[in-house]
Amino acid sequence: MFEKLDFIEERYEELSNKISDPEIIAQQEAWRKFCKEHSDMTPIVNKYREYRSVKDTAGEAKQLLDEKLDKDFREMVELELEESRKKAEEIENDLKILLLPKDPNDEKNVIVEIRGGAGGEEAALFAADLLRMYSRYAERNRWAVEMMNSNPTDIGGYKEVSFMIEGQGAYSRLKFESGVHRVQRIPSTESGGRIHTSTVTVAVLPEVEEVEVDINANDLRIDVFRAGGPGGQCVNTTDSAVRITHMPTGLVVSCQDEKSQHKNKDKAMKILRSRLYEIVQQQQHAEIAEARKSQVGTGDRSERIRTYNFPQGRVSDHRINLTLHKLEAVLDGDINEIIDALITTDQSEKLKNTLD
């Protein structure tokens, strides 16, 4: 590990010189590439330098203990040595995590798709609750939210809704949200006060650039139609809604939220690219099944990952056996505690896998 860290530090110094070189700065594409590499290495190099500093302090303390010291000073040096050793162990663990292979999608924006599952209208209402939860979480992180497509119900729910969250590291924070979210509560339409269980499916897809997924225009069937909404609202007088069918896979994407056919087509293509990219990733994951076992969750849309229990005011994530009694705060976007626990568990599993 330390040989690798030495190499990284050497490369870091080399990059530091390059990004300040006027000749390199004049070559914008190369300069941006070097800046990105330099930025990615900065946390590792800083942590490694901190590690060496702590080890130096421990070494100096150890040398002092070889000399004749009075009792009080010896105790102070022994305490400093012990603290330095503990600190070095903590930093070494941090370095192992920093050196874990990075998910290439972590820094990307995300497209979130929420669909009502079992439970009919109640599931659609909870889909609206999750839309608000992720929107509020995005606001807390100063990320932008852009609606992509929606199929609302008459009483304020969504049969399905797609939206983009734009922000650095959005995928790294939200990628574990894919799966089945279960809600247990008394529906507003329930006169007998019985608790119902409904489900909503969430898919989190990294935004994919055109160059990352090759889509043949001949493989697409594009239909246009008039957009509509519940109760006859929002009905356009022009064919602005767009439906794109990817013939080889049978994937169908529709967008109707914009008044412009061109904008709806652009959004539909973004969703299609992300879905096709997900299919490719799933195929790759299937080929390396062992790697899948080292992850917190498979990200499979059929995997039940979390339960929101309203009568008890609790949220339980079943993958990491975490239960929080702050349902209201979670639904208001306060989900960092859950996300941090998922990321920590995922890192621990990957570290364990590298040692096996």
- Could you say which DSSP state residue 180 is in? E
Could you tell me which of 143, 136, 147 has the C-alpha nearest to residue 109? 143
Question: What does pTM read for this prediction?
Answer: 0.68
- Residue pLDDT, tens place only, 264-289: 888 888 888 888 888 877 765 555 44
Name the residue among 113, 176, 107 with its Cα closest to residue 319.
176
Contact of 146 with 166, CB cutoff 8 Å? yes
pLDDT in tens, 309-338: 999 999 999 999 999 999 999 999 999 999
Q: Is 248 exposed, middle or buried (0-12, 13-18, 19+ CB in 10 A)?
A: exposed
CA dist 166 and 141 (Å) reads 10
Distance CA 325, CA 313 (A): 6
Highest mean pLDDT among 106-120, 185-199, 228-242: 106-120
47 contacts 94 by C-beta, under 8 angstroms: yes
| Structure confidence at residue 290 as a pLDDT band (50, 70, 90) | very low
- The packing angle between helices 28-65 and 2-19, to 10°, is 130
Q: Give the pLDDT score at 313.
A: 94
The predicted pLDDT at position 229 comes to 56
List, in sequence order, the alpha helices (H) in the chain.
2-19, 22-25, 28-65, 71-98, 121-140, 170-174, 261-287, 289-292, 327-331, 336-355
User: Quick one: angle between helices 336-355 and 71-98, nearest 10?
Assistant: 90
Q: Which residue has the tokens 């820094």?
A: 107
**Arch. (CATH architecture) of 2-98:** Up-down Bundle (1.20)
At 211-254, the pLDDT tens digits run 566 777 888 888 887 766 544 444 455 677 888 888 888 888 88
Q: Which CATH class is domain 110-349?
A: alpha beta
Give the pLDDT score at 68: 76
pLDDT tops 60 at residue 30: yes
> Average pLDDT for residues 129-152, to the nearest whole number?
93
List Cα–Cα distances, 13 to 30, 39, 278, in angstroms. 17, 12, 37
Domain regions of the chain by residue span: 2-98, 110-349
State whether residue 256 is helix, strand or coil.
coil
* pLDDT score recorded for residue 237: 55
What local confidence, expressed as pLDDT, does residue 126 receive?
A: 93
With 70 as the cut, is the pLDDT of residue 256 above it?
yes
DSSP helix/strand/coil, 113: strand
What's the pLDDT score for residue 295? 42
